[in-house]
Each structure stands twice: as C-alpha cells, then as structure tokens.
Structure 1
Amino acid sequence: MSVTTEPIIAAPRTGRIDPKYLRSKGSSGSFEMLTWLFMRLSGVLLVVLIFVHLFSNLMVGDGINGIDFGFVAGKWADPFWQFWDLALLWLAMLHGTNGVRTIINDYAERDGVRFWLKMILYVATVVIIVLGTLVIFTFEPCLVDGAGNLLEASPAFCETR
C-alpha cells in the first residue's frame, strides 16, 4: 500500500480558471460596477426613507391605530409626502429588482431560462412602478357622488376645500 503526499483538494487559485468566468477583452465591467454602487447608495438612502416613513406613520399621532384612509389622504394632500413615498417606491423596487437580477444571473444556468426570468422580473417591476406612481399622483381623497356632493366617508379636511 502506497501513501501519496499529494493533497486531495487543490489549493485555491492554483488551478486554471474556467473560461466562462473570464471577462472578454471588450468588457470593462462598468455596468456591474454601477449596479454595485447603486445598491450601496440606494441602500443607505432607503434606510433613511424607511425610518422617516415608519416614524411619521407610527410614532406621530395615534400610532398604528390612527392609520386609515383619512390618514393617508391627509398625508398625500402634501406634495412633500407624495414625492417621499414615490422615492421610497422607486428606490425599493429598483433596489430589489437589481438584487433579484443578480440572483438570477448567479443561479439560472441556461441562457434561455435566465433571459425569461429576467424579462418577467423587468415587466413586473415596470408594472408595479407605473401603477404605484399613478396611485400616488391620481389619488383623490375627497369622494363625491354623481351630483358632485361630498360623501360622508370623505376625510374632514375635504369640507374646507
């Protein structure tokens, strides 16, 4: 019986790199570098946006018991909060989409599967961003009937309009 002194597992970085992992000569990797940078910057900004959102909704006023249609209507009557929530929506969706895109690139082995998963992801992202933006900017809190009379379910501030 002979004993070999050769290691069973090769030491890291000693073997040849698989050609599919090598960058082509024309590729500078700038897109991936920009998405990496976007993830870091948007992550920091999202932390600020989320904590201010949570503080203004849960700590100010009646807390969670005060959140209802009238609360959202009153908040979105101010353009500042409309743009705040819009920035939160857009950054969260783009940040999440980029993260899922990276996961798809890492784990989907076949090109066709990778392509269709990313297409579904992009379509879903566009639909959610468009619908969310429309909701924020077309939201009408003052409910009226066919004759133009204010409904009872409308928030109190609608009577002063």
Structure 2
Amino acid sequence: MNNIILIITATSTALIAGLFYAYSCSVNIGLGRLPDREYIAAMQNINSAILNPLFFLSFMGTLVLLPVSAWLNYEQSLSGRFLLLLIAAILYAIGVFGVTMFGNVPLNNMLAGFDLKSATAADIACQRLSFERPWLLLHNIRTVTSVVCLVLVLIGCIYKFD
C-alpha cells in the first residue's frame, strides 16, 4: 500500500510541477507578448478557468499526499525516504501552496475585480504593471519549488535506502 500511495504522490506532484513548468515555458511567454487589454482579458479568463475539479484534485491532493507518504515511510531510524518526503511536503506547503494562496491568488482576485470594459488604456497599463511582474515572480518560485519537490519524491521512489 505504501508504494501505491507513493506512486500516486509522485504522479500528483509531477502534474503540478508540469503545469507550472508549462506555464513558464510557453503560456506566460505567449501572454507576455499580448497588448495590455488582451493580456488582462486572457489572464482573467485563465484565472477563472483553472478553478476546476481536476486542478484542485492535483493541487490539493499533492498537499495532502506528500505528508501522508512521509508518514507512511516513517521509521524510528528516520530513513532517507522519509526525510526526502518530509522535506518535499514542507517545501510544497510553503513554496507552492503557500505562495499560491498568499501571493498569486490575491493578485488573481485583484485582477478579477478589474473592470476591463470601462477602463481607460492608462488604467489597463497600470493594472498590468501592478499584476504581471509580481505574479510572474511568485509563479517562478512555485515552479522551481514544485520541480524540486518532484525530484525529491522521485529520488525517494527509486533510491534504495538501507
């Protein structure tokens, strides 16, 4: 049962790391090339669309599965697998979930409340400026952190600890 949970944990961690990585490699670059009005409209739509059961299952599932996997691999001697999974759980909770909830989500909410239809070009440019750079910085933090978490989980899966 431990191995099945560990495989599910690795899969959910990979899904989140892949999502953030794909955004970093393509989506954010493409969006960055858009004029201000189109950028704001696209981000408003993306931020709304991502709030779906599949995303929540992998995003929240990873938050739960990492500590569960660590706990299932706990031994009195504190095995290497346990320590890797514990570190991954802590990193994910802070650097992915925490950054998202206390950084990206408030920025997304601010953008959602912005009335694009009645805004002037100057208002739109100002809104983009106050959103884009901070959001991308936070996104890069959670991307790197999620990839590090994935590497830790994968090492925990394949490395033979004695």
* Structure label with greater radius of gyration: 1
Calculate the TM-score normalised by the size of structure 1. Answer: 0.36
Structure with larger RCO (C-alpha < 8 A, sep 6+): 2
Calculate the TM-score normalised by the size of structure 2. Answer: 0.36
